[in-house]
Amino acid sequence: MTTAPRIGVLAVQGDVREHLRALEAAGADATTVRRPAELEQVDGLVVPGGESTTMDKLVRAFDLHEPLRARIAAGMPAYGSCAGMIMLADRIADGRADQQTLGGLDITVRRNAFGRQVDSFEEDLHIHAIGGAPLRAVFIRAPWVEECGPGVEVLATVEEGPAAGRVVAVRQGRLLATSFHPEVTGDHRFHELFVQMVRDARAEDSRSGQ
């Protein structure tokens, strides 16, 4: 019997518990990651929502910035939701001068693109990659993707209203990101997609002897 993939949730700030529960429901062995030694023990990583500038500072304070960048560059699967999308982006359209990201996704994101906390909203999205009924997406001070590189697959765009057409979910190789928060809705299909990505990556690495 194949063991469940061990997936960490970066636990320096943000909605960590919700992701842990969603990952467990999706079939993963979920754990928190706060130290480089804990990062070394996981097959994949979720970077949760929160506040991207605070998360950036804390990642560096915990001596996690370079280990995270190195593991992502080496092919560790990672999924970022909301602030996590910003952390995985190569470029930020309106970031602070000293703000750094972990990088990996060839995208440009805009922070708080949909407005302030009071402008948070929900919308049903039709997402072929997860199949089934529309997914209820919860946007909370969410970013959107302004530019995608040629290797980036767009998984979802806003379907209605003044932001119609804006990109809110992407995948590039072993990296996945959403502007919205699937961990708060009880719909675990995005986490199931990521768990399967981690399983596939683990099998691929095993075949190649990594």
Catalytic residues: 82, 181, 183
Q: Does the CA dihedral 93-117-160-105 come out positive or negative? A: positive
Say which residues have a Cβ less than 8 Å from residue 152's Cβ, sequence separation at least 6.
105, 106, 107, 170, 171, 172
Looking from the CA of 107 toward its CB, the CA atoms found within 13 Å total: 32
- How far is the C-alpha of 181 from the C-alpha of 202, rounded, in Å? 26
Q: What is the DSSP letter of 35?
A: S
Distance CA 59, CA 161 (A): 36
Other C-beta atoms closer than 10 Å to the C-beta of 41 total 10
